[in-house]
Amino acid sequence: MNDTNHTQLENLLILDRMDDLTVSDALYPFALDELLCRHTGKGGPAICHIWRHPRAFIMGIRDSRLPQVEQSRQWLESQDYEVAIRNSGGAAVPLDLGVVNISLILPKQEQADLHFHRDFEMMYKLIQMALLETGLCVDKGEIAGAYCPGDFDLSIHGRKFCGIAQRRQAHAYIVQAFIIAEGSGQERAQLVHEFYKQAATGAEASDYPQVAASSTASLEELTDLKQDAAHTFADAVKRVIQAHQTPSVLSGTTSELHLPELVEVLNMTKTLRSRYEVKS
């Protein structure tokens, strides 16, 4: 990890919401990220937000514009998925308790923040270090047939387990990663394939990802992280951060984590939903 990334880990506060499932709205964690990012941009601390959702299907903005997306939304809801559109980059991603989500909420640093690859690289290095004890090589680079494809697909043995996206504000930004920790990667990829099969009827092939079920796997399938792989991985991420934190951050004597009031987050979820809703 380079000096800049190392410095940012030193001052990173951890917000662990792995088991905080009290608010079922799938946009709640994205709304919380949005508000935390505003605070970070005003001089607040950098944050690592770790969270899960029990059953949701999160579309990208481009997905929401596909010709038959309303039909696909209804199909997903009939299977008890909560459907939402996120305000960061990337394409469709299914969420469940086997998927760990990490948001790095960081202040902009002028010249250093001219290229988004630096931000993605920090997330890649964090995940790579968290998986160091598995003894496996974590590769980066687009995996053909994977859902939510991108240059920073993370994979082991050629199968994707993680995707990275970002959301930028005026004075801070959020790097978001989903990590498929438990269960079947193939089943999740098949679900996304079926979504596009319906939603993209009448669209050009270049308008949406061509998803193949065999492209994706979970850490449970790829590594020796077997039982409770989600918590095992999340704990490893926290250990990496804590190993780099300064004594003052570890002792809580520096900037404390400022959490917005529940009503603020709920209001932001409404704002995000109205701004990015599926047009029926």
The answer to whether 161 and 185 have CB atoms below 8 angstroms apart is: yes
Query: Cα dihedral sign for 267, 48, 84, 19?
Result: negative
- Hey, what amino acid is at 154? L
Transcribe 142-161 into DSSP letters. Answer: PPTT-SS--TT-EEETTEEE
The answer to whether 144 and 215 have CB atoms below 8 angstroms apart is: yes
| CA–CA distance, 220 with 167 (Å, rounded to integer) | 29
| CA–CA distance, 164 with 15 (Å, rounded to integer) | 19
The yes-or-no answer on residue 162 being catalytic is no
Select which of 37, 48, 148, 162 is catalytic: 148
Which residues are catalytically annotated?
148
